[in-house]
Structures are given as C-alpha cells and as structure tokens.
Structure 1
Amino acid sequence: MHPLGKIVVAALALVVFCGTAYGYVNLRALDDVTRDSVIDGDGGTKPGEQPADGSLDILLVGRDSRDDQQGKPLPPELLRELRVGANGDDLTDTLIVLRVPNGTREVKAFSIPRDSYVSMPGGKGKINAAFGRAKAAEARRQREAGETDKAKIQQAALTAGRRATRQAVEDLTGVKIDHFAEVNLLSFYEISKAVGGVDVCLKKATQDRNSGADFPAGPQRIQGADALAFVRQRDNLPGTDFDRVRRQQVFLAGLARQVLSAGTLADPGKVSDLIEAVKRSVVLDDSWNLLDFVGQMRGVSGGGIQFATIPVVNVDYRYDPDSPRATAVQVDPAAVKAFAASLIGAPAPTAPASPVTVDVSNASPRDGLASRVAGFLKDKGFTPGKKETVSSRRTSLVRFGPDLAERGAEVAKLLGGLATQQSAAVPAGHVEVVLGTVYSGPGVADGGGAPAGGDEPITSAGVVCVN
C-alpha cells in the first residue's frame, strides 16, 4: 500500500495565511485544535520575536494514519472513498519545512524526500522511520515502567515520535524548528473539498491502480479522493517519488492560490468548512499562538510562496550490502544545510585570495543546467569559467589539480556531495564540474533544488504542468 498524499500537511499553514487579511476573528475557532508538546520548552518562538537563525521555521508532517484524532479507526466506507486500505503504519511520508525569513513576506517551502538516508537514534535509516522508531521505543519504555493505561501509553508514544521527527529534520537541515503541524489523509480529503478543489496541470494522461489515479492531460481541478490520488501516485511516473514530490509542490501552490482567493475568503461557508476540517484532524505544537502568527503573516500574497527540494547525492542509493535491492536517497548533510541557509539569504563564503575558476560541463539532457550551476557557484565566491554541453554520462564528477583539492571538495559539497577526482590534466587555478543525467543538486531547477525531471520553478503565482 502506498503512503498517503503528501501535500495535506500544508493546508494548516494556508488556513492560517487566509486570516492575514480576512478571517482573523474566525481563527479563534482553531483554539480547539489538538495540541502536543513537540517543541522543546525553551525553544518556542514567542509572539513578535525574530528568530535568531533569521527565519520562522514550521515543520509540516503528514502521517499515513487510518485513525481519527481520537485514535478511532476510520470507517471502512470512508477508506473505500479515500481509495486506501485498512492498514497504515508509523512512517512520516511528508516532510516540508516552511521558512518565513525575518522582515520579509516571501515564504520559502522545501521538501525532504521521505527516503532520505540519515543518522538518527538507533542507527542510520530513512528519515521517515524516525517517527516509528521513537514511538515504539517510548511505548515499550512506558510498559516496562509499569504503565497500563493504553491511552496514556499511546499519547506518550505519539509525542516521542513527533519529537524524534522534528529532531531528525533539525539535524539534517541545520534549521531550528519553531513550530510543528501534523495532518493525516482524512484532513487532506476534507480540506481539498472545503476549498472547492485545486487547479493542477499534467503533461500527459496517467493511470495508476494502486493510488486510484486516472487523470487526463492538461489543466484540471481536483478535490477529495481525486486530489489524494494525485499526490499519492508514484507508479507509472518517470521520476517515481521525485515526480510525486513535484506533484505535492504544485498542489500546495494551487491550494495556496485557492485559499487566498477572494472566492474562498469571501465565502463564510468555505472558511468555516476549512477551519472545521483542520480542527478534526490537525495536531499543532502547544507553543504556537495562531492569532499572533496571523498578525505576523499579514501581507503574504497568493504568489508569495516558493518551492524547492533539498539537494540529493544519489536517488538510487544501495545502502545495505546484505540487501542489494534495498534503496534509499543519499544526501550530504553539509550540502543540505548550505541549501537551507541560502533560502534566507545567508552570506556566501568569502572569496579566496587566489580566485578559483570553475568550468561546468553538462552531460545531462537538461537545457541550461551548466549556466544555472555556474551562477550558483558564482554566488558562493567562485569565478565562472567555460560552460559547455558534452556527451551524455550518468554520474557527476568534480575534477581538480593537487593544489586545489580543498576547493574542489568544497565545490563537490556545495553541489550535493558529488564524486571527486584529482587530475594533473586540470588547468592550474581551475576546477572542472561534469553534471551527469542523475545530477539533482542546486541548479536543477532555476532557483531551487528540485530533483525531478520538470525544471520549471514552482511558485504559488501560477499553475505549472508536471508529470
């Protein structure tokens, strides 16, 4: 059974944004939303504060849960309507960070692939397993300590899972998470219907039995079970999970436009339905004052959200020699941290006394990739060299002479942890970058790190067609 639709988790933030100009009083109804102690006691951002790292950061998490907020199983007829089976699991299949830089009204959203292979308590693993590991460990600890109340054990385990997920994201990205929101598939279903559907566009018609997807090519409006299928589908897509990430992002962009449109905000019934959907299935950290947050967000527009994905090293990483068919997404934490910091305008490294020229060769089918990567490296203090298209190759490589080993390694890290090679054939003062067909670091999409095939940047200003 494939995981739930990823984009559901963003709906909460969009409901909050809708109140920036219109629904402020109505948001008081969200006082009844479920809360949990996810953020450290001394770590919550206070109303009006400017976070020390330069950005208010919100972690949006989606869980493949077949239960409601009271822990009761969803009825079979509803599961049939959602086109999902009765068995869920304890994986967090959506991880999206919203960065709201201090003093700006541009929201930067970036996705973390669910299969990103990271370090965490209990040993390395896929980041979406952090929740389940901590949840199971805490439940076991509670029982061993003599606790017999099932509700208390369940709540303690859920809190531990949420905290572990937050910590795994912080460790990978270097971002201090200020607030947390969690949504399940039921709320996604209800929220997408509450706003009257979301406009999306597909490059080609597609069908998928597992998710229930059956869509024509071109622009279309989707809601309810169709919307869930749209963001759940990964089979029959050329980029599988990474195409699904692109779908999540374009759906979130469309949801932002729809929530912030006059047709939604001026309709008391739609606003009420939206708030009720959030109350039924969303979990927030207990330090988040939504009304104060609404005041801080005053002025965010429908086109003021930009989307990207963290850079990755290898989308087909064989991490277990004993299970050669097991795959994950390899990431370089240093490159991910640099990427996340760049979204709030972190200063580029100081240029070296002796300038280093970087020559970039594009061995992939992506038009303009060499120029975009050269521009990215220029912003980091390197001098652009020649840019050319060369014969296709699968993997990427950074080459340099023995006198530039340190700077060559720096370039490789900035581009997502590429392979390196020392070569006396590289001209003095130069580093050579070859970008292969599986390259998925900065520059793949203009201005972001989206790793899927479609290179058009995704923002909430308009509809982008995807696979």
Structure 2
Amino acid sequence: MHLLGKIAVAGLAFAVLGGTAYGYQNLHALDEVSRDSVIDADGGTGPGEQPADGSLDILLVGRDSRTDKEGKPLPADVLRELRAGANGDDLTDTLIVLRIPNGTHDVKAFSIPRDSYVSMPGGKGKINAAFGRAKAAEAKRQRDSGETDKAKIDQAALTAARRGTRQAVEDLTGVKIDHFAEVNLLSFAEISKAVGGVDVCLKSATKDKNSGADFPAGPQRISGADALAFVRQRDGLPGTDFARVRRQQVFLAGLARQVLSAGTLADPGKLSDLIDAVKRSVVLDASWNLLDFVSQMRGVSGGGIRFETIPVVNRDYRYDQDNPRATAVQVDPAAVKSFAAGLIGSAAPKAPPAAPVTVDISNAGPKEGLAARVAGFLGEHGFAKGTTGNTGARRTSLVTFGADLAQRGAEVAKLLGGLSTQESAAVPPGHIEVVLGSVYAGPGTTGGGGAPAAGDDPITSSGVVCVD
C-alpha cells in the first residue's frame, strides 16, 4: 500500500530518462511533497545513491489511518467514500522493503507480514505496533518536558513513530534503510485513481463487508475505494493476512506497470493528477534527493520488480500463555537477515560439503506437493534430493540429523525459515530428515520467502498474476 510513493517517483524518473521536458519539470514539482526527519543524519547516502551495503533500500509504509498526512481526521464523507469506517489506530498495515542493488540488477521488493513478532522498545510485540508505541512514548515525553503546543507534540510524535517503524524493520532484516515513503488510506485511493486504475485478476469472485470488497472472478481494472478494498480484504481469503500480502504485491506490481506505461508517461493530464495525488498525501524522508534517485534508477535493468515475502517459522504463533487465543507470526531474525542479504547476492557463499548430504522430506500438513517443492529449493542450495512424501499429521516442523551433520542440519533449518532441530542417532548416515508441519510457512509455500506454492506464479511488474 506504500510502494505507491516510490513507484510514483520511479515513473517520473523514467519520464526523465526518456528525455521529456515535461517529465523533468514535473520531477521538480515533487519538491513540494511532505517531508519528515525519518532517516538518521549520519546514515544518509552519498551522491549517486550507491550505498556501501550494495543496495539502495526504501521502506514503504502503508498506515491503517483515518487521518491525513498531517494527522488531521479525514472528513466523514471521505471515510464513507473509502468504506473505511470511523475507527482507526496507529498501526502500519503494510511494510515493504524495496531493494535496488548497485549496478545493473533487477529490483527486488519483499513484504514483512504485519503480525511478525519481533523485539522492539517496550518489549516484544507485532511489528505493526512499533509505530503506535513510538508515537505514544514521544507524546508522553513531550508533555512531561512541559510542551503544551498540541501541534508540536503531534508532529514530534509522528516523526518518532516513523523512526520507530524504520528501526524495527532494520533490526529484523539487517537492512539499512536509506529512504522512507508513507501513504495512508486516502492517498492510496487517490494515487490509484490518478493513474487510471490498475489491472488485477482474481481466481474466484469474492465479497467481504468489512473491507467493502465485492469483485467478480477474472481480470478487471480497479481504482479508488475498490482498489483500497482489494488490498485491505483478508476475511474470507485462504491464508487471511498472507493472502492479503499477496493481494498487495500483485496490485503494486500492476501499479508500477501502469505508472511506467506510455499511457501514463505520455499523458500530461495523468502525470499532473499523479503528481498532485503524491503531493497531497505521500510523506517522504527529508534526506531523499529525487534527482539523485533518478541517477540510481539509470543503473537498474529493465527486468521489472519482483515481489517476495520474508521467511516465517509459524503463522499461528501462540505467544501469550495467559491468552492462548492471541496469535502472531513467528519469525527467525537470522533467517530473515540471510534472506534479505541474498536478494542482492551478498549472502556468504557456502563451501561444498566434504561428502554428499541427502535430505529426506515428509509432509505432515495439508499442502499438496509441498515436500517435493521444498526438496527442489534445497537442491538449489547444494543438498541432494532424498525421499519425499506424506506422513501422519503434525502441527510443527522438525529437522533431525546425526551428530556428524549438526552443522549442515542447522543450515537446512535456517534455509527453511528457522525450524526446530534435533540430533538423532536413528537418522541414516549422510542423511538429514525434515518433517514439514501443518503450520510450516517457509520456502515452497505462499508467503514463505522462497519458491511459490503450486499454482502461485511469481509476482513481478511484467505481467498480471491471478490471486485469491
């Protein structure tokens, strides 16, 4: 829901690269976009935007907020049009990191599920709460220090909230965020209308009163309130939040395709509407020099944007013993960091094992073909394919191995999203055994950071993919 700010800028960047005076003039018009001090002063990138970590990284944040970019409540008639209701809170509904590697590589974007359970100031919690926690803490600090000007308190709290979200993402992923873009419900609807709608495709018809979604099956073009409903729906979808993440990815891929099309770049009216929508509603970090960003985009190949999701350990993590109904998404920070680093090819190369290591995989969950897909994924990382098949139902996953393969077993567990491990003398020599439980959500499943599930095509900006 926030790739929008970045994609809008990217579209204008390509207009500049096309040499059109109109595009260049309007890029300067974006100097009027709202700014905030989100990025640390000593962490800014140098001229040409070639960061030392090998990638320009942009955090795209979509807020489930019923306020405008300055924190003022949206009018009742606007809320009715958006079908958003009057109640909102300080949560980030969408978090996507856009990685633009130095040189001529394709752009990679990865989603962070909003319920990812992480460490942050105030104690562990869902990552979407980092915004509200930091906001409330700063507002209290301002009042305790004697500040009475509400506007100053609110602005300081918003800045702290954005910085808190950025820090939570950096701590989880190991990625140094270079730039920040934020949109809310209103800006999302306005930007989608400005580009003339976005092409999407649904596998089946769906209807949900909570989000306002009411869509037929098949390809269709959506904008405004319908676009907002499309990316907000989770009730009635298989995988709920993970299905919503995939909805958001396919919509943003379509938005990128639409912005970069000749129909938008060559249409002064659409470009003007897009710029106006961005200026009204998008918040960027104060350090983002858009002309430098254009220079960085010159080095990006035309392969488009590919969307993925961080690996997760457990989608149904019961993190509170006193409230067993409370659930979150369990993640392994080490696996997430390895995944994020691998998107720009900076993951440490693995030395070949002294002897072949075979991985036998049993599927203890309901996903058909999962064991074979995971075997294929491990094969890409140097492990030999052993037996694959189904086994008795089991909720959690487990990797077992002999004492001599403890290091390689730990490697398999990490590759699959941080699975539990166990040493066992019963495992045949040269083998590692993996049982995939019903809540397994690593590579080979939708939203697991690796290969897509059967029937789920990779999402890129090069074409329309049908989703649930």
TM-score by length of 1: 0.93
Greater shift in the superposed pair: 150-159 or 415-424: 415-424
Provide the rounded CA distance (Å) in 2 between the counterparts of 1:219 and 1:365.
Answer: 29
Provide the rounded CA distance (Å) in 2 between the counterparts of 1:246 and 1:454.
Answer: 13
Contact 1:370 1:387 in 2 (8 A): no
Contact 2:196 2:223 in 1 (8 A): yes
Read off the aligned partner of 1:24 and give its amino acid letter.
Answer: Y
SS at structure 2 position matched to 1:58 = strand
Provide the rounded CA distance (Å) in 1 between the counterparts of 2:392 and 2:241.
Answer: 24
Alignment correspondent of 1:200 = 200
Provide the rounded CA distance (Å) in 1 between the counterparts of 2:447 and 2:171.
Answer: 26
Greater shift in the superposed pair: 448-457 or 24-33: 448-457
Alignment correspondent of 1:408 = 409
**1:209 Cα shift?**
0.6
Greater shift in the superposed pair: 364-373 or 234-243: 364-373
Provide the rounded CA distance (Å) in 2 between the counterparts of 1:127 and 1:299.
Answer: 32
Q: How does 1:61-460 map to 2 (within 5 A)?
A: 61-298=61-298, 300=300, 304-346=304-346, 347-364=348-365, 366=367, 369-380=370-381, 382-391=382-391, 393=393, 394-444=395-445, 448-449=449-450, 455-460=456-461
Contact 1:47 1:293 in 2 (8 A): no
Read off the aligned partner of 2:223 and give its amino acid letter.
Answer: Q
SS at structure 2 position matched to 1:449 = coil
Change (3 A) 1:446 1:416: closer
**1:87 Cα shift?**
2.0
Read off the aligned partner of 1:156 and give its amino acid letter.
Answer: A
Provide the rounded CA distance (Å) in 2 between the counterparts of 1:10 and 1:446.
Answer: 18
Read off the aligned partner of 1:187 and give its amino acid letter.
Answer: S
**1:75 Cα shift?**
1.0
Change (3 A) 1:24 1:362: farther
Deviation string, structure 1 residues 397-438 (Cα, Å, up to 9, x no partner): 211113323321221122111122322221112111223343
Read off the aligned partner of 1:344 and give its amino acid letter.
Answer: I
**1:303 Cα shift?**
5.1
Deviation string, structure 1 residues 336-385 (Cα, Å, up to 9, x no partner): 111111111124322343443323334455565444433433444x4313
Alignment correspondent of 2:10 = 17
Read off the aligned partner of 1:420 and give its amino acid letter.
Answer: T
Contact 1:62 1:95 in 2 (8 A): yes
Deviation string, structure 1 residues 294-350 (Cα, Å, up to 9, x no partner): 222136577510000001111111100011111100000011111111111124322
Provide the rounded CA distance (Å) in 2 between the counterparts of 1:190 and 1:125.
Answer: 32
Contact 2:117 2:329 in 1 (8 A): yes
Read off the aligned partner of 1:20 and give its amino acid letter.
Answer: A
Change (3 A) 1:254 1:104: same
Provide the rounded CA distance (Å) in 2 between the counterparts of 1:287 and 1:355.
Answer: 50
Provide the rounded CA distance (Å) in 2 between the counterparts of 1:299 and 1:410.
Answer: 34
Alignment correspondent of 1:4 = none
**1:448 Cα shift?**
4.0
Contact 1:395 1:436 in 2 (8 A): yes
**1:85 Cα shift?**
1.3
Contact 2:310 2:448 in 1 (8 A): no
Q: Which runs of 5+ in 1 are unaligned?
A: 1-6
Greater shift in the superposed pair: 235-244 or 361-370: 361-370
**1:15 Cα shift?**
1.2
Contact 2:39 2:285 in 1 (8 A): yes
Provide the rounded CA distance (Å) in 2 between the counterparts of 1:349 and 1:337.
Answer: 16
**1:47 Cα shift?**
2.5
Provide the rounded CA distance (Å) in 2 between the counterparts of 1:441 and 1:225.
Answer: 33
Change (3 A) 1:202 1:67: same
Read off the aligned partner of 2:3 and give its amino acid letter.
Answer: A
Contact 2:34 2:282 in 1 (8 A): yes
Provide the rounded CA distance (Å) in 2 between the counterparts of 1:136 and 1:332.
Answer: 28
Contact 2:362 2:391 in 1 (8 A): no
Contact 2:3 2:60 in 1 (8 A): yes
Deviation string, structure 1 residues 271-306 (Cα, Å, up to 9, x no partner): 111111111111111111012202221365775100
Q: Which runs of 5+ in 2 are unaligned?
A: 16-22
Change (3 A) 1:154 1:69: same
Read off the aligned partner of 1:188 and give its amino acid letter.
Answer: F
Provide the rounded CA distance (Å) in 2 between the counterparts of 1:140 and 1:322.
Answer: 29
**1:52 Cα shift?**
1.5
Read off the aligned partner of 1:75 and give its amino acid letter.
Answer: P
Change (3 A) 1:387 1:219: farther
Provide the rounded CA distance (Å) in 2 between the counterparts of 1:235 and 1:446.
Answer: 17
Provide the rounded CA distance (Å) in 2 between the counterparts of 1:251 and 1:313.
Answer: 26
Contact 1:446 1:455 in 2 (8 A): no
Contact 2:104 2:299 in 1 (8 A): no
Read off the aligned partner of 2:377 and give its amino acid letter.
Answer: F
SS at structure 1 position matched to 2:256 = helix
Provide the rounded CA distance (Å) in 2 between the counterparts of 1:388 and 1:339.
Answer: 25
Read off the aligned partner of 1:405 and give its amino acid letter.
Answer: A
Contact 1:58 1:99 in 2 (8 A): yes
Read off the aligned partner of 1:13 and give its amino acid letter.
Answer: K
**1:141 Cα shift?**
0.6
Deviation string, structure 1 residues 245-285 (Cα, Å, up to 9, x no partner): 01000001111111111111110110111111111111111
**1:24 Cα shift?**
2.9
